Amino acid sequence: MELDVMNISGKSTGKKIKLDKEIFGIEPNDHAIYLDVKQIMGNKRQGTHKAKERSEIRGSRKKIKRQKGTGTARFGDIKNPLFRGGGRVFGPRPRSYGGKLNRKVKDLARKSALTYKVQNKQLMVVEDFSMEAPKTSEFANIQKNLKLNDKKSLLVISDTNKNVYLSSRNLQNSKVLTLSELNTYEIMSASALCFVESSLDLLQKNA
């Protein structure tokens, strides 16, 4: 499959780039995508939640009332989990939600996500461009020319470009990542995926 290479004015440059079937034309594996996205989202969680249990509540240990003869249930101290302000039973404790996933599974997940973008016609290629200074309005015009202004778009560049990144940062539905930062979660969460020409060449070269 071939894609037209567009310029930042939204017009075809006349060049075409061939997509590698080993990356953009595989049989998608939904379970691999699920595992990879789950791991990525788990690694983002802080896991600092904490609830005090009975032994950690500050309060008197004195028995509230006598054990028998009251006609009601027996109670111990004020820290009983049944009382307001009492300790929580089996409350959350700080822990890590991160996990390990084999590299081959992560590669399969990313290729599956890229294949879905091609199948859904949500992938485009733009020739390399640069910006002399950070300017949000200029980047917004580029998005408009490429008809990405009303979509949740992801632009993948080959190397860190501070001006492009800063220009896109204030736009709500726009995100810029380098190729090394690209992962399955970012691909699947974008409704339009845009590669600059050099980043796509690098991706296919190193696959």
Which residues, in sequence order, are CB contacts of 87 under 8 Å at separation 6+? 52, 53, 54, 55, 56, 57, 79, 80, 81
Looking at the structure, tell me whether residues 65 and 144 fall in a common domain: no
Please give the average per-residue pLDDT across 125-149, as a whole number: 91
pTM of the model: 0.82
Looking at the structure, tell me whether residues 151 and 109 fall in a common domain: yes
Looking at the structure, tell me whether residues 34 and 81 fall in a common domain: no
Q: How far apart are CA 179 and CA 124, in angstroms?
A: 15
Looking at the structure, tell me whether residues 33 and 105 fall in a common domain: yes
Please give the average per-residue pLDDT across 52-56, as a whole number: 92
Looking at the structure, tell me whether residues 33 and 115 fall in a common domain: yes
Domains in the chain, number: 2
Looking at the structure, tell me whether residues 22 and 56 fall in a common domain: no
Looking at the structure, tell me whether residues 178 and 138 fall in a common domain: yes
Residue % of the chain over a pLDDT of 70? 100
Look at residues 65, 91, 117 and tell me which one is the last residue of a structural domain: 91
Which residues, in sequence order, are CB contacts of 68 under 8 Å at separation 6+? 74
The pLDDT score that the predictor gives to residue 120 is: 92
Looking at the structure, tell me whether residues 104 and 65 fall in a common domain: no
The pLDDT score that the predictor gives to residue 150 is: 87
Amino acid identity at 13:
T
Looking at the structure, tell me whether residues 149 and 80 fall in a common domain: no
The pLDDT score that the predictor gives to residue 189 is: 94
Looking at the structure, tell me whether residues 23 and 87 fall in a common domain: no
The pLDDT score that the predictor gives to residue 23 is: 93
Residue % of the chain over a pLDDT of 90? 70
Looking at the structure, tell me whether residues 33 and 116 fall in a common domain: yes
Looking at the structure, tell me whether residues 168 and 76 fall in a common domain: no
Look at residues 66, 91, 116 and tell me which one is the last residue of a structural domain: 91
Q: How far apart are CA 13 and CA 144, in angstroms?
A: 17
Look at residues 60, 91, 122 and tell me which one is the last residue of a structural domain: 91
Range of the domain at 186: 2-46+99-206
**141, 162, 128, 198: CA torsion to nearest 10:** -140
Which tens digit of pLDDT belongs to each residue from 163-197? Answer: 999 999 999 889 999 999 999 999 999 999 999 99
Q: Report the CATH number that the domain containing residue 31 is assigned in CATH.
A: 3.40.1370.10
Q: How far apart are CA 173 and CA 149, in angstroms?
A: 8
Task: Please say if the pLDDT value at position 108 is more than 90.
Answer: yes
- Angle made by CA atoms 116, 206, 12, in degrees to the nearest 5: 60
